[in-house]
A and B are shown apart, each in its own frame.
Chain A
Amino acid sequence: MADGKGGYRGGVDGALADFIELLGKAILSGIGASVVLALLTLGLATAAGAQGKPNDAKTGTLLLRTGAAGGFVAAPKVETDVAIHVTGIVARTRVAQTFHNPGTDWVEGVYVFPLPDNAAVDRLWLRIGERLIEGQVKEKEEARRVYAQAKREGRKAALVEQQRPNLFTNAVANIGPGEQVRVLIEYQQTLAYDNGEYRLRFPLAVTPRYEPAQEKGSDPFFNDEKRDLTPFLPILHPGYAPAGSGVNPVVIGVVIDSAVPLARVSSSYHEAVVEKESGTRTVLYLQKEQEEADRDFELVWAPLGGAGPQAAVFTESRGGTDYSLLMVMPPQAAAAGQAARATLPRETVFVIDTSGSMQGTSIQQAKEALLTGLSTLAPRDRFNVVEFNSATRPMWPDALPATAENVGYARSWIAKLRADGGTEMAGALAFALDGRDTPGFLRQVIFMTDGSVGNEDHLFRLIAQRLGATRLFTIGIGSAPNSHFMTKAAQFGRGTFTYIGDLREVQEKMARLFAKIEAPVLRDVSIRWPDGSPVETFPARVPDLYQGEPIVVAAAHPALKGTIVVSGTRGTEPWSVALTPSPSGEHNGVGALWARAKIASLMDELRLGADEALIRPAVVKVSLEHHLVSRYTSLVAVDVTPTAPAGEKRTALVKASAPRATAAGELPQTDTESTLQILLGLLALAAAAVVALVGRYVPAEGTPGTGGAK
């Protein structure tokens, strides 16, 4: 019995052990099979996905499609060096971009880069070895054709197009394997002059950042091509080789030639090295490091003794026409401000953007700015606050006196604002600019937003139509506000644009803005030219002048004999100044500045609803005459000799500029789980099949066995 029991138990135990073993085998082989399948599938999928060299696919790297089926190549790298020469209030800048092709294919490099808002781009050179090929201005389509043909024929070519007034692309065709091609672009601009300081900005924030730079030995760019930059040479400090790894290096050099010695010069966001050369010439240079890539380069300087120029006129003769750039500084005496202040109380409407995009520090800055604004109001002033996101919500239906009680109420109202919802700006603008004028009051609208709107042109029209006697001041909030929109909005609103990039700047900038707009220093400005000559000026109508602002006007006219008289109303008194232009033979680029201003003015007309069929030819004409890049004209340079194998080997690629380190957001996520689910589903199916098969097979072994015993 014991034996039998034992035998029986042994049988059961044996069967159990056997069963567990079999089950284990079945499951293990199932799992094994699925793992193999999984690895195989994943491996295949990864291999397929990683065709474009997975190691290169770091943030910011662009992998681009080649003509060959499914192949991708790494984008060329671009090195930039910038040479800026300042004379008075005009700056001429040469941007040199060197394209390196790290790959083994012939590629096309397309580089998107920003320039200052008012840059008049008028020169392009393509440098190949020792040769320098100068670019020509052509209508956009024509230029594209020329470029495309050169690209097909395997010739090197460069094409500079304007995407937006402050955003350009430079396309370079047929860059050979391991080759570098250098493109030089020049532009002219007027400088901002405000409160006794000159301000020069070069946008860097969008400077591209691609794959980590390869180790560079001796850089031919720094050894060979210095002579290329002879006029700007002092700025390229010897031994200042690009050291940045992980960023496309940028070197900036500035030469300032001023009439009077400078009291101070400072770089706002970067550490620039200043070298004084002589009394009136200042030289400085900057090497941008990676961590500084998120801020524009800004240089601020002031002439000695705070005595800025009171009036100046620069002239250039070109093709029988004289071009003048006129700058007049109204007297800055504080007494004038006091006197003006006594004239009119203000009615101020603060408009604050509380849309979702303002969330975070932006809304904080805006609130801070608003509260600072409230504190500048006197009891006799009137004010209102309007918030807008998807809808417009005014605090009061109409402006009320700025009594302590009302201001207190506004403060608590503002504290409760939350950023959420869409950006419907039109309603808020329409409410604030109601076309009404409050007699006896200086009516001002202070508009605080990050400007993330799509219907810009519609809003410009709205502003222009409803402005009346009101003035619109825009305040850009946040790290990357749409400054083009806000500058233009302020221009249509005959006010100014203030950018606040940092919470710490709020107090200072708002205080300065309000001190300025408390009273215009000069109103109803007009310019009288000698002997009633036909003169085309930009801006056509000089805006009100506020404390510390100069009048800057570009004009085209026949040769002038006599004096130019600038007049206006200062406080309640008439005011005027006479200027005598002294024609100079030198090409100082004033003509290009005038042309750029004219193009800007024509484009504004287009925004206000003018017919493109009329505007386009006018823009093309002035652009061709002055050799300028515009919305309708581009610069193109083509090499004479083909260097690349013609035809099939073309490589289309975009090199968009790198993310603004400060820009919020990213492109939408556009993949689903379906691939993963299909894969998991198939794996589960396969595993099920294997388990079922092995499970079936195992008892089947038992069956013949028992059958055999029988």
Chain B
Amino acid sequence: MSAWPLDGNSSFAVRGRSYPTGDAGEAPEAAPAARRARRWPVAAVTALLLALAAWQLGGAAWIHAKAALAQHLIASAWEGTKKDGAKRPWPWADTHPVARLTVPSRGISLYVLAGTSGRSLAFGPGHVDGTAAPGSAGNSVIVAHKDTHFAFLRDLHEDEEISVEDVRGRVTRYRVREVAVVDKSETRLLDPADSPQLTLITCWPFDAVRPGTSQRYVVIADRA
């Protein structure tokens, strides 16, 4: 009850400024037009903001949709690759699946693509050219986006198991040895190793809003 008079007062004050005395008769007819006139820019600004929201959210959704959908498309290319060698997931693709990465404890299953170009990373984790083939002896390095495929890395901890299936269908199991954050210039992580080792790299911090962070989150696993 106490809110009403306040409200009424304020609206009265507004009215008092808007409509000088003596023109009260015109006011009722003028009001709807004025209201319309007042409303359309508001509606326009709202629409504009909504469009902006749709554009931005759509962009983000597109990134995530691409990341998720492509994995399904790659699934059949993977089966083909295992049977008769490198097969492209779609005719114009410039990459092909080279391994399948699974983390049983987290229900993760990802097809790893050859190379780490921005184009192929949108579709799946990329195996860094020149590092050991996934599942083979040596240091095999796989990178993926922190927002999509490798978002789960932040939860992965020591001693968790990671499996890699190679193109011949052989499955190699790894166990997480260590987790670290390094500067992006630490290319030493790509260096060969004597023992079978899997190095997973993504950007860090995971919550970074602006793209282009200079640090990397690294998970290193040894063959179990």
Q: A-side interface residues toward B, CB under 8 Å?
A: 7-8, 10-11, 14-15, 18-19, 22-23, 26-27, 30, 42, 45-46, 48-52, 57, 59-65, 72, 110, 112, 162-164, 167, 206, 422-423, 452-454, 456, 631, 652-654, 656-660, 663, 665-685, 687-688, 691-692, 694-696, 698-699, 701-706, 708-710
In the bound complex, residues from chain B placing their C-beta under 8 Å from that of A657 are 188
Q: With both chains docked as a complex, state the minimum distance between the C-beta of B119 and any C-beta of chain A, in angstroms.
A: 12
In the bound complex, residues from chain A placing their C-beta under 8 Å from that of B100 are none
In the bound complex, residues from chain B placing their C-beta under 8 Å from that of A57 are 215
In the bound complex, residues from chain B placing their C-beta under 8 Å from that of A672 are 63, 122, 145, 147-148, 211
In the bound complex, residues from chain B placing their C-beta under 8 Å from that of A452 are 130
B172 at the interface (CB under 8 A from A): no
Seed contacts A22-B38, A670-B121, A702-B14; 8 additional CB < 8 Å A-B pairs = A18-B18, A454-B132, A654-B218, A654-B220, A668-B126, A675-B147, A675-B208, A692-B42
CB <8 Å contact, A60 and B201: no
Q: 20 A-B contacts, Cβ less than 8 Å apart? A: A14-B17, A23-B41, A64-B180, A65-B181, A164-B194, A452-B130, A658-B186, A667-B186, A668-B126, A670-B143, A670-B201, A675-B207, A682-B53, A687-B49, A691-B46, A702-B11, A702-B15, A705-B11, A706-B27, A709-B19
In the bound complex, residues from chain B placing their C-beta under 8 Å from that of A50 are 205
Among candidates B42, B131, B187, B214, residue contacting A454 with C-beta atoms closer than 8 Å: B131
Q: With both chains docked as a complex, state the minimum distance between the C-beta of A655 and any C-beta of chain B, in angstroms.
A: 8
Kindly report which residue of chain B lies nearest to residue A696, judged by CB atoms.
B42
Q: With both chains docked as a complex, state the minimum distance between the C-beta of A378 and any C-beta of chain B, in angstroms.
A: 39
Q: With both chains docked as a complex, state the minimum distance between the C-beta of A475 and any C-beta of chain B, in angstroms.
A: 20
CB <8 Å contact, B131 and A684: no
CB <8 Å contact, B193 and A164: yes
Give chain B's interface secondary structure class: mixed
Place the interface of chain B in its size category: 35 or more
CB <8 Å contact, B46 and A659: no
CB <8 Å contact, A671 and B179: no
Q: With both chains docked as a complex, state the minimum distance between the C-beta of B198 and any C-beta of chain A, in angstroms.
A: 14
Q: With both chains docked as a complex, state the minimum distance between the C-beta of A661 and any C-beta of chain B, in angstroms.
A: 9
Among candidates B10, B64, B206, residue contacting A674 with C-beta atoms closer than 8 Å: B64
CA distance A675 to B210 in the complex (A): 7
CA distance A684 to B45 in the complex (A): 11
B1 at the interface (CB under 8 A from A): no
B152 at the interface (CB under 8 A from A): no
CA distance A11 to B17 in the complex (A): 10
CB <8 Å contact, B212 and A669: yes
CB <8 Å contact, B34 and A15: yes
Contact string against A for B residues 182-224, beta-carbon threshold 8 Å, 1 for contact and 0 otherwise: 1111111111111100000111011111111111101010000
Q: With both chains docked as a complex, state the minimum distance between the C-beta of A402 and any C-beta of chain B, in angstroms.
A: 35
CB <8 Å contact, A112 and B38: no
Kindly report which residue of chain B lies nearest to residue A678, judged by CB atoms.
B60
Among candidates A8, A691, A704, residue contacting B49 with C-beta atoms closer than 8 Å: A691
In the bound complex, residues from chain B placing their C-beta under 8 Å from that of A685 are 49-50, 53, 57
CB <8 Å contact, B116 and A10: no
CA distance A453 to B59 in the complex (A): 38
CA distance A657 to B132 in the complex (A): 21
In the bound complex, residues from chain A placing their C-beta under 8 Å from that of B215 are 57, 63
Which residue among B23, B58, B122, B185 has the maximum number of chain A CB atoms within 10 Å of its CB? B185
In the bound complex, residues from chain A placing their C-beta under 8 Å from that of B56 are 677-678, 680-681, 684
CB <8 Å contact, B209 and A679: yes
B52 at the interface (CB under 8 A from A): yes
B84 at the interface (CB under 8 A from A): no
CB <8 Å contact, B212 and A671: yes
In the bound complex, residues from chain B placing their C-beta under 8 Å from that of A688 are 45-47, 49-50, 53
CB <8 Å contact, A27 and B45: yes
CB <8 Å contact, B52 and A684: yes
CB <8 Å contact, B207 and A676: no
In the bound complex, residues from chain A placing their C-beta under 8 Å from that of B27 are 706, 709
Q: With both chains docked as a complex, state the minimum distance between the C-beta of B159 and any C-beta of chain A, in angstroms.
A: 10
B96 at the interface (CB under 8 A from A): no
CA distance A204 to B55 in the complex (A): 51
Q: With both chains docked as a complex, state the minimum distance between the C-beta of A296 and any C-beta of chain B, in angstroms.
A: 15
Q: With both chains docked as a complex, state the minimum distance between the C-beta of A250 and any C-beta of chain B, in angstroms.
A: 17
B158 at the interface (CB under 8 A from A): yes
Pairs of residues from A and B, 3 with the lowest C-beta to C-beta distance, nearest first: A695-B42, A49-B205, A705-B15
CA distance A665 to B187 in the complex (A): 7
In the bound complex, residues from chain A placing their C-beta under 8 Å from that of B191 are 163-164, 167
In the bound complex, residues from chain B placing their C-beta under 8 Å from that of A163 are 191, 193-194
In the bound complex, residues from chain A placing their C-beta under 8 Å from that of B179 are 64-65, 652
A45-B207, A49-B208, A675-B208 given as contacts; is B50 within 8 A of A656 (CB)? Answer: no
CB <8 Å contact, B57 and A678: yes
CA distance A370 to B18 in the complex (A): 88
CA distance A673 to B189 in the complex (A): 25
Contact string against A for B residues 55-73, beta-carbon threshold 8 Å, 1 for contact and 0 otherwise: 1111110011000000000
CB <8 Å contact, B189 and A656: yes
A666-B184, A687-B49 given as contacts; is B15 within 8 A of A674 (CB)? Answer: no
A59-B185, A667-B189, A705-B14 given as contacts; is B211 within 8 A of A684 (CB)? Answer: no
CA distance A167 to B52 in the complex (A): 53
In the bound complex, residues from chain A placing their C-beta under 8 Å from that of B19 are 11, 14, 705-706, 709
In the bound complex, residues from chain B placing their C-beta under 8 Å from that of A64 are 179-181
Which residue among A22, A167, A663, A667 has the maximum number of chain B CB atoms within 10 Å of its CB? A667
CB <8 Å contact, B216 and A59: no
CB <8 Å contact, B202 and A60: no
Contacting residues of chain B (96-155) with chain A, CB-CB under 8 angstroms: 116, 118, 121-122, 126, 128-132, 143-148, 150
CA distance A492 to B35 in the complex (A): 89
CA distance A72 to B180 in the complex (A): 9
CB <8 Å contact, B201 and A667: yes
